[in-house]
Amino acid sequence: MRFRDVGTLVEYLAMVPWDVPGFTVREHEEQLHALAAVRPIEVSQRRFRIIATLL
């Protein structure tokens, strides 16, 4: 995923709280300031899909 700036990243995290449980801007303020110098902010995630069937 690619975010154009820290504000966009924070908005995304507010919409999907399960991606980073317990995330708060206040708790991560220092890291967010460091990320402000990075453009774009690129994040990779491994995702998988589980398909279950009844036998």
* Two tokens, residue 29: 């303020």
Q: List pLDDT tens digits, range 25-55.
A: 999 999 999 999 988 999 888 878 788 899 8
Give the predicted TM-score (pTM) of the model.
0.75
- Write down the pLDDT at residue 51: 85
Dist. CA 26–CA 40, nearest whole Å: 22
